[in-house]
Amino acid sequence: MAMFFSQIDDFSGENVPKREGKFRVPALIALLAVAVRWAHVVSLALNDPAFTHPFMDMRWHVEWARAIAVGAWKPEPFFRAPLYPFFMGALFAVFGPNSLLAIRLTQGVLGALGCVVIWALGDRLGGRKTGIVSGLIAALYGPLIYFDSDFLIPVLYLPLAGLSLLLLISAVKAAQERRSSALKWSAAGLAAGLAATAIPNILVFIPGVLVWVLLEIPDWKRRAATFAIWVAFFSIPVGTVTVYNAELGGGFVPVASQGGINFWIGNNPHADGKTAMAPAHFGEFSNVNSAYQDSVRVNSKLEAERRLGRVLRDDQVSSYWFGQAFRFIRNEPRRWLKLMLYKTYFLINGYELPSNRDIYSVRKFSPVLKILMWSKPLLFPFGLIFPLALAGMVLAAKNPSSDRATHRLLFIYVLIYGASVIEFFVTSRHRLPIVPPLIPYAAFTLTSVSERIADIRRRGIHMSCKTAAALLLFFAGFFLSNTKYFGIQKVPERENYMNMGFVYVAEKRYDEALKEFRAALEEDPLLDRAIFNIGVTYLLMGRFDEAQHAFMDTLRINPQFVDAWIHMANAYFEQGKLDEAEETYRKALSLNPNSPLAHYNLAQLLKRKGDKDGYLRELLAANRSDPGFAPADVDLAYLLIQQGRYGEARALLEKAIVIIPDNPDIKALLEIISKKQ
């Protein structure tokens, strides 16, 4: 180990001119991080069927960003923090609406910059060796690599949050030395404020910054002035988004209104602390041909309004669910404390709890992840990084080779942000923001061990109280991070099976789709959605009898399943049984008069029957039921083109292409409009 670090000394440029060596290490760390991330992305592009078919939160971000890029996004109060979709929208505007590969590669570069920030934090905490090891760990940290390649918020939040911490450290150093620091405090506040518009959890860090400023700056006036500057610039992006939400009728919503429902998800009588389960409500299922609807957002609003019997603003929906969660806490404090214990364990355990997609399932598509992330025999990498970081926190305290201000800030951030995650629910992606400050601590332990080994060789074995405490914490953390208590790895797989089934359907790999849906059904034999999706797959394969049997089985479990009635009608339609199909479509509409799919498919049936008036009537009904339903937009655009109303037709097509960007009819109609105008 000592020999290894002596080689790093030479590699880092100790014997070259200072300015030349200054950027060599971070540049090489960035190159390594980019190479690993791009290798992972290329592997996914070649092997992962979901690469071009994002689902759940990823799909929402992609569609939102595409709408922004083409000017088809309809402003509304934010349910989720907006910075990442707007960032993606800018990339779509540059690379085009189908540029998922280019965006993933760009995010790889952004993730590499985040690794450089972690290198800098390590360098601040423990010097050059700690910085180098921090950068190497970050570059090769499996979950960071995974999230840097997916369409989720951490890829943007982590560099911003890390940069804000780095700027705070630089600002307090300047303040301690009584140098001008207003610009640094301003930049630190602005970076943190932007991070808050990506993930609002950082809002709870404001008191932590105040405590840290009180600890590090002795002069009261300077304390007040510097903290006021930081808060003022922090408030610029946060306040802008909050005012925007109020102006659009959402009420007082700081950044995003999902806080209340997320708090309820993690604090209710049925919560397990690790599963994001929306409140039950018989809403509509999302259609692949329509704008994606987040089930959490839709169900939380519909269910709150049903219970209260009135229409609610976004802030009122959030307040309602906060109230429900606090009622549970008041009424069942012991049960809640037990739940909090579980969530604390989930936070520090090395298992990467899934959210939207099981990370471990992606390993089969990526040799990079297969090497850098595993669950047996060690829950690597978090199961090793966390205990090393615990030891590092002890070793860094009052250590002459560590920076006190950096140590205190990183410790406060980990403590407060970790607590904010536990207050809601724990998954891999929600825990990820505490990883960047943990890595420098882990690196500090490794470099300290190297130095300690060299010291033992010189002076013999001697263990201080601090070293003994660090070892004790390491072994305790290692045990907690690599055990399997409280059912941590018993995570329902059915949604992962369902999502991959949708992906295989989109790829027209129907046999593989059936396998996934059946796997979901094995886990939950009464999962009506799985039976329904089996029926849809049979329908696409032209196996109409099997499809109808599946739809009948679905309806026996849930007679109100509107989409099952619609697809039963589709099976009749494909077999030319038009009267039976029309009767079944109308049955679906009797259950839900606002089903865009039922109206649209009935329109196609009436068109085949020669009923032009009925066709137009149902087409317009489909559009009224869901203005984001792309097939209806395309058909209406075709009719508008025939009438010479090219501007209206273009508006509909530009909205539709956000949902179905590869549709050749849309591109052909847009070309016709371009020639006519």
Q: Give 599's contacts (C-beta < 8 A, 6+ positions apart).
A: 589, 618, 619, 621, 622, 625, 632
Which 8-state DSSP code applies to residue 268?
A: S
Q: Which regions in the chain score pLDDT beneath 70? A: 1-21, 280-292, 452-463
Q: Does domain 494-625 have CATH number 1.25.40.10?
A: yes
The residue among 451, 466, 454, 473 whose CA lies nearest residue 401 is: 451
**Half-sphere exposure in the Cβ direction for 651 (13 Å, CA):** 8
* Helix 435-459 / helix 128-139 crossing angle, nearest 10 deg: 130
The residue among 379, 381, 410, 412 whose CA lies nearest residue 480 is: 379
Burial class (CB in 10 A: 0-12, 13-18, 19+), 503: buried
DSSP string, 435-447: HHHHHHHHHHHHH
DSSP string, 347-380: HHSSS---BSB-HHHHGGG-HHHHHH-B-SSS-B
Under a CB-based contact definition with an 8 Å cutoff, are residues 256 and 262 in contact? no
d(CA 636, CA 645): 11
Under a CB-based contact definition with an 8 Å cutoff, are residues 383 and 474 in contact? no
Under a CB-based contact definition with an 8 Å cutoff, are residues 508 and 521 in contact? no
pTM to 2 decimals? 0.88
Radius of gyration, alpha carbons of the chain: 28
**Quick one: pLDDT at residue 314?**
96
Angle, alpha carbons 351-141-352 (nearest 5°): 15
Could you list the beta-strand ranges (E) of 271-323: none
d(CA 649, CA 262): 40
Report the 10 Å Cβ neighbour count for 31: 12
**Quick one: pLDDT at residue 456?**
61
Tens-digit pLDDT profile for residues 491-545: 888 888 999 999 999 999 999 999 999 999 999 999 999 999 999 999 999 999 9
Pair of tokens at residue 163: 């940069």
Under a CB-based contact definition with an 8 Å cutoff, are residues 544 and 572 in contact? no
